[in-house]
Every structure is written in C-alpha cells, then in structure tokens.
A = this chain, B = another copy of it.
Amino acid sequence: MKRTSFTKDACPVARSVQSVGDWWSLLIVRDAFAGKRRFGEFQKSLGVAKNVLTVRLKKLVADGVLKLVPASDGSAYQEYALTENGCGLLLVIAALGEWGCGGSEVHLVDRKKGKSVRLVLRSEDGRTLAPDDVQLVPVSHAEPRSKRARQPAP
C-alpha cells in the first residue's frame, strides 16, 4: 500500500511532478530564482518549519535541481544554488506565474535591460501560437495527426 511512484513513468510531466510536485519544492525553486541561497533566507521567506525545509532541500539536491556550493561571501557555511538542470525550471515557474496572475507580484525581466519578458508558444516556422492552437500528443501509442483532437468543449 505504498504511494504510487512516477519516477519510471514514461511521461515527462509525471516525472517532473515527482520531483517538484509538492507544496514546497516549487516555492523553494522560485526563491532560488529570486536570488536566495541560504538556509535562513528560504526559511524566513517561506515560513516553513526548519525540519521540513531540510528534507525538501535534500531532496532537491538529490534530484539534481539544487547543489551545495562552498560559499559566496566569507561565511563558513554552504549555500544552495540552482544546477543547470534546475535553471530549466524557470519556464515552469514562469508559466505558473503567468497563470496565477491577477495582481501579479512577481515577473520576469531581461537581466541586461530590465525589460519585461513573456512566455510564448512558438511553432517550427516561427509563428506564435495560442494554447488553443496546440494539442498535446502522447508519442507512445498515437498517430501524430490523429483525428480525435481535443474538443474545446461545445
């Protein structure tokens, strides 16, 4: 009677959820993108219990999302930094942020110019698409251009 695991699941979404699909992990990653690196910074920002934070950080490190780096200032302690892989989660955070908007309190900017940045879907030929123009296809057992496309609800 164990909890079902998706680590072996074929779908990448399922595997991602396995890594960051709980309450805290994504928020920790969000804070990491916002520049936080120290245990205490996360703890204060999130208001999470320290033991819980410890467990989450360890899992994120084990999953290759964060890594421990020696130090950045003179401190004798270690800091948590995003791995290259973890940086890829920016798209996820960005997408969640755009979706949750309604009094947006966080957004993306170009680091060089400080200009606002948005997340868009782009087809191979360079066109920008709306979510409605796009269909999710499970590659495993499906003909790429199946006729039973998603119905947008009549």
Contacts and interface: CB of A to CB of B under 8 A. Distances in A.
A112 to B, nearest CB: 7
* Contact-residue size bin, chain A (C-beta under 8 Å from the other chain): 35 or more
A55 interface: no
Q: Kindly report how many copies of this chain are found in the complex they form together.
A: 2
A12 B150 CA distance: 27
Interface string A118-149: 11111111000101111111111000110011
Contacts of A19: 100
A4 B119 CA distance: 29
B99 A88 contact: yes
B154 A69 contact: yes
Nearest to A35: B150
